[in-house]
Structure 1
């Protein structure tokens, strides 16, 4: 009696099962290798520049990284970010990333915002510089042109400025509306900054410096001046006081002359009206028709005649009280002044000054 070939059929089923299992293992192994390989660093090379605009999502960042040859597979990188719970802290900016970096190194770099440092420019505006001098200095350094910089002075409303409250940068009599509002300081700015951006930075510096003065608003109110008048008076102090210790005293003399309804008769205002610096002013210079000529008009000029530094601003805020109404520069090289209460005493000081020049 014949028997059924059950063992042979069973072996065939086993072989099919083993073959299927092997196929699945190979498939799984291939998948694992694909994933493993896709998460490996790319071939090492020179750093490449990567730009990540503000608001860019992780999917787009992964695409950019793949396009730059910094990762092998954008889909696997995105999945890796989800697995690691990363990607939400990536920062926009310009990066230099070297191929061959691990995924964790790339993630850390984007998280820290380790961007390429922008190339900077650096310039110093001395205390007492006028708008024209500032324009010339910036133009000399190649950061702008005098024409462009000065043109914006005539249209301060056309640019965004960070002016302090109470600024008065309009008026037909103003030679340059922003005169006195461009704080003298050493600045660092991104290379390629426009004239408008430079103006915004300099006016913001003034605003910040005034805000840092203790009880500035109270002191300004006590002075009886507007902010514009204060900066104007401070600019006179800046141009007149060559010796720092004399600033508060010279400020006090200016206040005294204003209260006495006397013309200020400050040479620096005539120089400003002339548009040039002269070693010596002649009588014809003192007769120039200009609202800035304090030999002919009473009160403060219509606006600042230069950029006052912080020390001159503080002197204008807190002048030294005295009965002095006059001062004259010593001609002995010290650049100090002789102060007088009366005109007769002032004339004597003038003679003393001349004698000092002959010694």
Structure 2
């Protein structure tokens, strides 16, 4: 073998080794960096691929800016990368980062809020307004006039006696919603949660009881406002079903408070005389609509109420939040006396 041929072969071997080394180095620099906490990065409008690579490298989202630029050029996606604020997590692959930037999967800032069980529409609107998340007037207008596509809403009667059409349906939970969400979008999210929480198998139980979904939500809202101890919800629901069956007025203090438009520690005799369609001390049967938003346990208590003969209950007033239950008015009067003694 001539010296020239040997030299050429050596050159090829060295070149191949160099190419292989460069290739493996290139591949190594494209590997995801060490995993870490999410990072918010801002890609300015009009940024070049080099500028984007520099930002990503500076935030330890890629290992090598030059390798990233070369990879982007080879992919043909350089002119598809969109500006905006992104949330990337160290450890994401280069392909994942590229695909998200091509799709414009920008970071959306969110806010959280919690709606407790037993709140009324007015309380929800006031709370969100005070947090600066809604205009209370617009929110209440959407509650009454907004167009939403959930099937369960078709069962809400067109009853002018109801203060708020969607009372009872803005489901209580902790929500995370995008910043800048409109009143309509916030209400829609809560209605969607109601639909998620409502068990479709409950509809069959309602038919057996001759109860509409709206009536069930109405009764569940009363249970929600009347009961503090979860284990008593189905028992109290049973009391109301017994009263409805015997055509006895429900006489729920919570409905009087709703009619008054304010919560009171003590409902007076004068309050009970209020002439109002929601005052169940004056009107037989259920009120026109819910008085608050019931949680899932209260809804379930109406679907499967406890079977018993109780017609009355009174708070024990011993700090337990529980009630005394009775079948007759005479027993009820004795329980009231017990409750008063416990209060002393």
Give me the TM-score of the superposition, normalised by structure 2: 0.74
CA-to-aligned-CA distance 1:155-181 (integer Å, 9 cap, x gap): 1xx333545365316321111111000
Q: Secondary structure at the match of 2:325?
A: strand
Deviates more, 1:295-304 or 1:217-226: 217-226
Number of equivalent positions: 283
User: Contact conserved, 1:166 with 1:226, CA < 8 A, in 2?
Assistant: no
Match of 1:218 among 188, 204, 207: 204
Residue 61 of structure 1 is matched in structure 2 by none
Residue in 2 aligned with 1:128? 118
Is the 2:47–2:83 contact (alpha carbons within 8 Å) kept by the matching residues of 1? Answer: no
CA shift in 2, pair 1:181/1:96, >3 Å: closer
Tell whether the 8 Å contact from 2:203 to 2:213 is kept in structure 1 after alignment. Answer: no
Q: Partner of 1:248: helix, strand, or coil?
A: helix
State TM-score, norm by structure 1: 0.71
Tell me the CA shift for residue 223 of structure 1.
Answer: 2.8
- Provide structure 1 residue ranges, at least 5 long, that are not aligned to the other structure: 1-45, 52-63, 99-103
**Is the alpha carbon distance of 1:116 and 1:306 closer, same or farther for their aligned partners in structure 2, counting shifts above 3 Å?**
same
Q: Which entry has the higher C-alpha Rg, 1 or 2? A: 1
1:183 has 2:177 as partner: no
| The one of 237, 248, 258 aligned to 1:262 | 248
Is it true that 1:49 corresponds to 2:49 in the alignment?
A: no
**1:23-47 deviations in Å (ceiling 9; x for gaps):** xxxxxxxxxxxxxxxxxxxxxxx96
Counterparts of 2:310 and 2:177 in 1: how far apart (Å)? 44
Supply the distance in 2 between the matched residues of 1:306 and 1:340 (Cα, whole angstroms): 26
Q: Residue 197 in 1 paired to residue 185 in 2?
A: yes
| Structure 1: 4+ residue segments shifted above 4 A | 64-72, 76-79, 90-98
Cα 1:208–1:93 change in 2 (3 A) is farther
Alpha-carbon distance in 1 for matches of 2:86, 2:226: 52
Q: CA, structure 1 residues 47+342, in 2 after alignment: closer, same or farther (shift >3 Å)?
A: closer
Paired with 2:249 and 2:266, the residues of 1 have a C-alpha distance of 20
Secondary structure in 2 aligned to 1:160? coil
Q: How far off its partner does 1:333 sit? A: 1.6
Return the alpha-carbon distance in structure 2 between the equivalents of residues 140 and 97 of structure 1.
Answer: 29
RMSD value over aligned CA atoms?
Answer: 3.0
- For the residue of structure 2 that corresponds to 1:346, the secondary structure is helix
Taking the aligned partners of 1:346 and 1:275, their CA distance within structure 2 comes to 28
Matched, 1:321 2:307: yes
